[in-house]
Structure 1
C-alpha cells in the first residue's frame, strides 16, 4: 500500500482528534466553544477525505482488517461526539410560519462509491454505508433512506425504487438489498472464478506477473475475510466439479440443496453417485430375439411388433413375462455392445427403451 495514502488518512485522524479535544472543552470554556463553532465546518470535509483514503487501504487486501476497523471506529466515534456537542451550541435557525424545517434541507455529502450490482463491490459498500449512515444515531430513517437511494444505481436502485421515501420503508429497503446481495456462496464463487479465470502469462514482465499475483492475493484474501463456514479446499473442489456438469444435472443438485447456504463437496459426490446408478438403469438395452434375427419381409409384421410394445409396456421383449424389459434377467446378461445393437435393430428409444419415438424427442426424464 502506498505510504502517501496512509499518511493522508493519519492526517485526517489527527485533525479530527484536535477538533474533538476542542469540543470536549466547549461546555466549560467559552473560548473553546467559539473555536468549535468556527472549525466545525471542516468536520464533514475531513470525514470525506478519511473515508476515501480508508477505502483505498481496505481494498488493497494486504492489511489486518481488525486493526484497520479499530482505526475507523475510533475516528467515527470522535466525529459523532463533535456533532452531538456542536448541536448544543449551534445558533438556532428561525423558521418562517407555514414552512417546515426540512423543506429545503440538503443532506451533507458523504464520500461512498455508489453501488449498482457487482457482487465484488458489495462488501466494501455495505461496510462503509453501515459505518457512515446505518449506525449514525444523529440521522432519521428518512434521511438514511435518502442517502441510500443517492448511493445506488442500475439493478440495485430498481430493487427499492417502488418504495416511498419514509421512516417506515427504510428498514424494508435496507433488508431488501441485504437479502439480494449478501449471498456468501455467490460472492465466494465470484472470487473463486476470478482466480480460476485469471489470464495465463504470455510474456515475462514485472507488470504482467504483478497483476497475476494481485488477482490471486486479493481474491484469496477476500475469501478469508468472509469467515467462510466451510473449508476453502472443500469449496474449491465443489465449484470445479459443478463446473464440469451439464446444466440439467447442476439444476437438479441446486434444487435439492436450495436450503443449504453452502453445500459440501461430499454432498455433491453422493448426489452424483446416485445419479450414476439411475443412468446405469436407464441405459440398459434389450437382448437379441430369435424371432427377429432375420429381417422380416412382411412390413406389417414389423408394424405389429412395434404396436404390441407400445400398447403393452409390461410385456418383456425377451421372455414375454410381466415385467419391464430393463429388469429382465436374460436381458441383463447381455453385454452393453449387444444391448445397444439390438435396441437399434428393434428401433427402440435409447433413453427409455420404448418404441414409437427417438431419444431426441423422448418425454422421459
Structure 2
C-alpha cells in the first residue's frame, strides 16, 4: 500500500508540470498572434497615412489649379468688359457667352456707341442672327423698341432692325441738331455771373470735338452759329472777342472761338474763390410773418394799391395808415424831391419799402 501511495505522489507533480508547460505554450502562442496582429495593424496604418498624405497633396494641387483658373477667368472678364453680364447659350453642342449690349432708348447721342458695340460683339464672338436677336430684344427700350417691335420676331430681320434704327435715330443731321439744341438752350452769361463761362467753354469744346469726329468740319465755318455763340457772352467779353478776331488773318471760326474761350475759362478757374463766385445768387432775407412784402412798382394804379391786406401800415412821409406809394403828400412832390426822399429813407427803389434793395426785391 505504501508503495502505491509513493507512486501516486510522484506522478502528481509531473502531471501538474506538464499542464503548466502546455498553458505557457498557449500563452506564448497567443502573445505571438497578438504581436503579429499588431504588426499588421501598424503596417495598414502606415499605408493609410501614406494614402491620406497623397490625397491631401492631390487636393492641394487641385485647389491651386482652381485658384489659377479663377484668376485667369477673372483677368479675361476684366479685359473683355467688367460691366457685361455673361449668359451661356448652347449652340451645336458648344457654350457661347452672350454679352449684353448697352441699353438704347432712341437717344440720338447713344446710337453711335450702340451700333459700334453691336458690330464689335458680332465680329469678335461670331454671333449668329439668333444670338443678335436675343441681344436686341433685351437692350432696346421705349421708343427704339416700339419702332422695330414687329421686326423682333424672326432672326432673319436683324439687319433690317439695325437699318431702321440707324435711319430713325442715327442720322448725322439728328446728331448735329441735338448738339445745336444744347447751345441754344444755354442761357446767356451775365456780367455778375462770369463763372458760367467755364460751362460755356466746355460746351463749345465738346461741340467742336463732335463735329471733328463726325467729319463735319464745314459747320465750324458757319458765321451765324458763331454769332449765336458770341451772343452768349457778357458785353465785356464780346468786346474782347471782337478785338481778338481782328488779329486773325482769315475769318474767325468756331474752333478759334473755342480756343480763345478756353483761355478765358482757365483764367477764371485760377481766380481766388471769393472773386470767382457768382453774384447772381441772392441772399435769402427772412421777412417777418406779420408783414406782406409783395413787390409793387412805382407806377402802379391806386386800385391796385387798394388790394393791400388789412395789416397795419405806416406812411414814411406823413405817418398815416397807408403806404407811401399812395400818400398824397408824397405824390404831390416832383420827381427830384421824391428821389431825394427815397434815398434819405434808404427804401427800395422798386416798391419803396425798407429792409431790402432793388436786387433783392
Which structure is richer in relative contact order (CA contacts within 8 A, separation 6 or more)? 1
Same fold, TM exceeding 0.5?
A: no
Of structures 1 and 2, the larger Rg is shown by: 2
Tell me the TM-score range normalised by the shorter chain: 0.3 to 0.5
Per the normalisation by structure 2, the TM-score is 0.36
TM-score by structure 1 length?
Answer: 0.36
